[in-house]
Amino acid sequence: MAEVKFPCSRCRSLRLKLFAPLVIVFLALLAYVQWVWMPQSIQYSKDFYHRMQDKQLLNIGEGLVPLILADQLAEIHASLDAFKRENPDWLNLELFNAKGQRLYPLETPATPANDPDIDVHQRQIMLEGHPLGLLRVTETHQHLLASIRAAHHHLLLVLLVAPILFFIMLAILLEAAIIRPMAKLAEASHKLAEGKFDTELPRDRGDEVGELVNSFAAMREEIRQNQTALRKEIHDRQQAEEDLIVLNNSLEERVRDEVAKNRQKDLLLIQQSRLAAMGEMVHNIAHQWRQPLNALALVIRNIKDDYEFGELGQESLDHAVNSAQNLLNRMSTTIDDFRDFFRPDQEKKLFNVADAVRQAASIMEASYRNNHISLEMALPEDLIVDGFPSQYSQAVLNILANAKEIIQSRKIDPGLVRVSLEAADGFAALTIEDNAGGIADDVLPKVFDPYFTTKEQGSGIGLYMTKMIIERNMEGRVAAANSASGARFTISVPLQPAPGKTAGKDVHDE
């Protein structure tokens, strides 16, 4: 049988994939030993040597204490000479008394050259907290470092030779057991790609490569048998793609229909919100007009009484007419205020948050007064935001109206609503808090959902529209939580630069 030749590039690629990770790990190990472990080992040895030298200096100093106290200079010299002979790495050994006078040696030793392997150690000689002298040693690490470096070089040599021998043995084994059979199998796969199903495969040697060869042969036979089925599957896929295109076209039409429906729902929500607001407006107008109408009825009654008793003169008639006209003007002003409040904003503009809050509060003024609800407001005058003032007032009005209804339904007397405004993290934060006992835990996460309400005749769109106005139209945020006395709503809108003004506090007890 003629020997089959295989492309060498594939063999090289397989060898590279097998040996490259091993070579990388080996080089990384060498790099770690050379630049991390060896410097750390040397530094550890030096530190250990320094600790031993410090301990030795401490022992020498303790031994010199009685000699220094007895001023036995000869014994000091003899002891230090002996220590210097025992430590050949000590270049200089010096002793000074407490006044800094040299005791050993008597002559100043030569200063060693600037060498990173030379260190100077000093140890104070103390007796009961009082210094007796200073012991100084100048030492070299050349011998220590030389022995350490020699050991490191032997280690590097072992780490270099052993992996090379290992790689050579591994290469021979892989070449015979894996690379050559895999090259033959690769050649057979290329022939299979060309539609040739009779290419000879490597022999089955009963190992993992043999199992791979058997699996390849089974796969090749299965491919041969399933060619017709594959063509049919391709045809079916093409038909499915055509059906999917038709489905996508119909899906786009469905999406457009759903978007249109959602827009219609949004329009209905807005219309319902406006109708609810108009109903609240009519209710509040009735409250605002009740007192002027009573006063107007009293003026008319006085005119009749003055006429019946003959006391109706020009002066009393003019006074009654003026009083009636003032009451009518007040009622007309109320209508204008409500009409301006509900007039839609055309475009964004800078406005004072405190003014918008007061406008909403004025709408609820009579209703709060008639239901024995106090409204306390702390509103700084220097907070300016960019947005729609009428919509902002509408959002505040929704929360104020909701607080009034909760206080009424729970029969809280007297009722109290606190409104406070402050600057916090670049936002104008408006907090509205009532004393109605708070919101149930299972209801709190859903208070801003559309059409969700706990009231018998509620629409469930007031707080939802508040959230839509603040978050979509004014890039702010709305949050609800419970306080110690009741529910607390917070409206935060980004602040805009404005001239500084003094903060004021308005308190209305209605």
Tell me the H-state helices in 71-114: 73-86
Residue 428 in tokens: 């104008």
Is the pLDDT reported for residue 354 higher than 70?
yes
Q: What is the pLDDT of residue 310?
A: 78
pTM value?
Answer: 0.41
- Angle at the Cα of 53 from the Cα atoms of 51 and 56, rounded to 5 degrees: 110
- Lookup result for tokens 């057991």: 177
Give me the chain's average pLDDT, please: 77
pLDDT, tens digit, 9 for 90 and up, residues 479-501: 999 999 899 999 999 998 855 54
Bridging pattern class, strands 487-496 and 477-482: antiparallel
- Rounded Cα distance between 30 and 159, Å, is 7
Percent of the chain with pLDDT over 70: 75
| Domains of the chain, residue spans | 1-107+114-225, 346-508
Asked if pLDDT for residue 295 goes beyond 70, the answer is: no
For residues 92-109, one letter each, b for 16 or more C-beta atoms within 10 angstroms of the residue's C-beta and e for the rest, the string is bbbbbeeeeeebbeeeee
Looking at residue 450, its amino acid is: P
Structure tokens at 358: 């007061």
The answer to which of 133-147, 263-277, 371-385, 491-505 has the lowest mean pLDDT is: 263-277
Token pair belonging to 280: 């609240």
What is the distance between the alpha carbons of residues 40 and 44, in angstroms, rounded to a whole number?
Answer: 6
Alpha-carbon torsion (212, 215, 219, 220), positive or negative: positive
**What is the DSSP annotation of 238-300?**
HHHHHHHHHHHHHHHHHHHHHHHHHHHHHHHHHHHHHHHHHHHHHHHHHHHHHHHHHHHHHHH
Q: Over the stretch 193-225, which tens digit does the pLDDT of each residue have?
A: 766 667 666 666 666 666 777 777 777 777 777
Residue 436 near residue 489 (C-beta atoms within 8 A): no
- Res 340: pLDDT: 56
Name the least confident of 166-180, 306-320, 409-423, 481-495: 166-180
Mean pLDDT of the region 448-462: 71
Q: Are strands 477-482 and 427-434 parallel, antiparallel or unpaired?
A: unpaired
Cα–Cα distance, 377 to 220 (Å, whole number): 85
Top CATH class of 346-508 equals alpha beta
Sequence-distant (≥ 6) Cβ neighbours of residue 75 within 8 angstroms: 67
